[in-house]
Structure 1
Amino acid sequence: MERFQDAYAARIEAGAIEPDPAQRAVLPAFERLRTELAAPAPRRWLFGRGKPATVRGLYLWGDVGRGKSMLMDLFFAGVEVPGGKRRVHFHAFMQEVHSGINAARKRGVDDAIAPVADDIARDLRLLCFDEMQIGDITDAMIVGRLFERLFEGGVTVVATSNRPPGDLYKDGLNRNLFLPFIALIEDRMQVVELASPRDWRQDRIAGRPVWFTPADAAARAEIDALWTALTDDAQGEHLRFAVSGREVVLPRYAAGVARVDFDTLCARPLGPADYLALAERVRVLILEDVPRMGPDRANEAKRFTTLIDALYEARRRVIVSAADTPERLFTMGAGAFEFARTASRLREMQGADWGA
């Protein structure tokens, strides 16, 4: 089985990535994990079955674009884990957990988290999370009990995050109840900072256009190339999140980048809360097929404005294919005058120095 350092060196030699001293500094933590997960481990009996004793996990944090997801994916692809492995975006995972808890409660289960955790831990030894963050009180109250049960079930957890454990759910409601979970992470996971000064994601699109008009085959080819550069050519997965009991689904998501068409976000009855939640979860939004809008599409124009406002305030990068320039997308109908502010923001967001 290939050492993790060798797998990383092979990607550099192939020209897939450039060497980064800060990335190299965290490679031993992944190699430690690879070795310990591959080795036969003492067994203990939990939940009525034998499982290997839990290998201490890894919590890798650092600023956006430093290569955390790339390193985790490289590790996940190469590690051999007797007992099964899974890689999932943290928000998608928490949606599964909420669904499982609701189903258990309907069955009258008192401790609804326990059967959900046990189902996850069954036939699983390694669980990799991308972009772990806690944004609401519901998740904050669930994760401590959930992770405790997963660790008891022999599951090793690897997570990437933009924040150190101590900053998770910072300033959140009843945060004192969340502090034991932070202590649990620091006890059961090796906390490592990826402290690179270089934002590789921004570098990959620096100097490249991010607004394409018209939205034709040539624009799609350009956006395909940007998707490949930003996600290391990932296939992508659905990103689902709930807002006020309503589910929002982004059909293609990888490495903090979401790719979606205009109608999915602006022709549906979504509002400010949905777009704010999206901006919390996405670092780059690729929005395709933005049409010209007239009086008959005033509602879509208003939602588009609200979406851009949310992304602007969060300083998210936006890549767009559209029927025309920002100033010519909506020029007639109620709200057309106010749309000029949106066009101005879109121009500003095209700047090379814009981004999270």
Structure 2
Amino acid sequence: MSSHIRAAYERRLADGRLTPDPSQVPVVEAFGRLETDLEKRGLFGQVPEVRGVYLWGPPGRGKSILMDLFFACAPEKRKTRAHFHAFMARVHELIGQWRKGDVKTRKAIFGQSKGDDPIGPVAELIASEARLLCFDELQVTDIADAMILGRLFEALFEKKVVLAVTSNRAPDQLYLNGINRQLFLPFIAMLEEACEVVSVHGARDWRLDRLMGDRVWFAPNDADARAHFEALWEDLKGEQAEAPTHLHVLGRDVVVERTDGGLARATFADLCGRALGPQDYLAVAERFHTLFVEDVPVLGPANHHEARRFVTLVDALYEAGTRLVALAEAAPEALYREGVGAFEFERTVSRLNEMAGAEWLARERD
């Protein structure tokens, strides 16, 4: 049976907005089945168990684009599309409102409810707003999220809320090595039962092919360099809208304001001008396959704290295999010219030059 998402997908292939990728076909078919089931539910009332879709695979395989197509085609009026961390931030906010509120306040926000457990009322409110939840980038690194997800989604699934989600990890790899992970395992089993799990593993991130043969270190930071930097960002990003990404690191919220799937963009001041540490940079490096950093200054003793953070950032990107595109005042060799720290910076220069080479850019990240 033909589906609206299949028709939309084929139109994008025909007009060149998408590159043919056989690994995406099973995804379109899975979303098509979900589209059909949602339509039946809308026409004939509750059908036995509408299964959602859990779509996972490495960054840059088109997961967000396919989710865009599905969400636009989904025959459900009450539907929500959000980044998973933004959704969880709201859940925590609602839980806080419940715990701090008196009886009158709780009733005004959540309606009539009993007991002191906030999960039920929060799930009830979410289910009243949307019968289809579509999330981008489901990942769980925060113990506070891990401990409430099972109970929250058990309540949502009982209310027949359907889930469609993208992730870089298979369900059984979520919250891997996390604290008290055994308490998280029932949520994984619940996901696998409630959703059809589909992987998309194209041979290569098609957007990153455009980096080959291109400069990735633009210096000095003049109008010409900025124009080329901007053009490369727009070329890789395409028509997708930018959105902030929230990373939970050791109980803190690290926000990267300009992101699109596996692409991220930030200023040097955003990343190195504030008190971020190795774990923060590792989270950024593991989350994104390509990081654009603009306005990198000449470094030295006068800004040695920022320089040290930049070294830590580069190390994290290097270890994760993340690609770096930079707009800087100087070439890597001239970035830290003299003073305490210049000798130690030589290793960073070596890594930056390696990361700008064709062999590095052609690597396939795990």
Same fold (TM over 0.5): yes
Which residue does 1:350 correspond to in 2? 356
1:63 aligns with 2:58: yes
- Unpaired runs of at least 5, structure 1: 45-51
Residue pairs, 1:234-249, within 5 angstroms: 234-244=240-250, 246-249=252-255
- Partners of 2:364 and 2:295 in 1: CA distance: 22
8 Å Cα contact 2:220/2:329 also seen in 1: yes
Change (3 A) 1:304 1:310: same
Residue pairs, 1:205-354, within 5 angstroms: 205-244=211-250, 246-351=252-357, 352-354=361-363
Change (3 A) 1:350 1:121: farther
1:177 to 162, 175, 183: 183
Which residue does 2:25 correspond to in 1? 24
- Unpaired runs of at least 5, structure 2: 103-114
Aligned length: 348
8 Å Cα contact 2:3/2:36 also seen in 1: no
- Partners of 2:226 and 2:75 in 1: CA distance: 37
- Partners of 2:252 and 2:188 in 1: CA distance: 29
Which residue does 2:100 correspond to in 1? 106
3-state DSSP of counterpart to 1:18: coil
3-state DSSP of counterpart to 1:116: helix
- Partners of 1:290 and 1:355 in 2: CA distance: 27
One-letter amino acid of the structure 1 residue matched with residue 22 of structure 2: P
- More divergent stretch after superposition (209-218 vs 291-300): 209-218
Change (3 A) 1:346 1:275: same
Give the C-alpha shift of residue 26 in structure 1. 2.4
Task: Give the TM-score, by structure 1 length.
Answer: 0.89
Change (3 A) 1:221 1:355: farther
Which residue does 2:156 correspond to in 1? 150
- Partners of 2:237 and 2:49 in 1: CA distance: 31
Give the C-alpha shift of residue 2 in structure 1. 6.5
Q: Deviations over 1:207-251 (max 9, x none)?
A: 222111122333333333333343332221122334445442222
User: Superposition RMSD on alpha carbons, in Å?
Assistant: 2.4
Change (3 A) 1:25 1:100: same
Residue pairs, 1:44-55, within 5 angstroms: 55=50
- Partners of 1:346 and 1:156 in 2: CA distance: 45
Change (3 A) 1:115 1:304: farther
- Partners of 1:53 and 1:149 in 2: CA distance: 17
- Partners of 2:221 and 2:160 in 1: CA distance: 50
Q: Deviations over 1:124-169 (max 9, x none)?
A: 1221111212223322212111222222233211111222212222
Change (3 A) 1:316 1:105: farther
Task: Give the TM-score, by structure 2 length.
Answer: 0.87
One-letter amino acid of the structure 2 residue matched with residue 292 of structure 1: V
Indicate the percent of aligned positions where both proteins have the same amino acid. 51
- Partners of 1:282 and 1:103 in 2: CA distance: 33
3-state DSSP of counterpart to 1:234: coil
Change (3 A) 1:269 1:63: closer
Change (3 A) 1:152 1:289: same
Change (3 A) 1:98 1:314: farther
Give the C-alpha shift of residue 339 in structure 1. 1.2
Change (3 A) 1:305 1:15: same
- More divergent stretch after superposition (130-139 vs 216-225): 216-225
3-state DSSP of counterpart to 1:122: helix
- More divergent stretch after superposition (140-149 vs 88-97): 88-97
1:8 aligns with 2:2: no
- Partners of 2:289 and 2:121 in 1: CA distance: 33
Change (3 A) 1:342 1:103: farther
1:186 to 186, 192, 214: 192
Change (3 A) 1:210 1:281: same
3-state DSSP of counterpart to 2:9: helix
3-state DSSP of counterpart to 2:197: strand
- Partners of 1:287 and 1:54 in 2: CA distance: 46
8 Å Cα contact 1:86/1:126 also seen in 2: yes
8 Å Cα contact 1:212/1:322 also seen in 2: yes
- Partners of 2:251 and 2:34 in 1: CA distance: 38
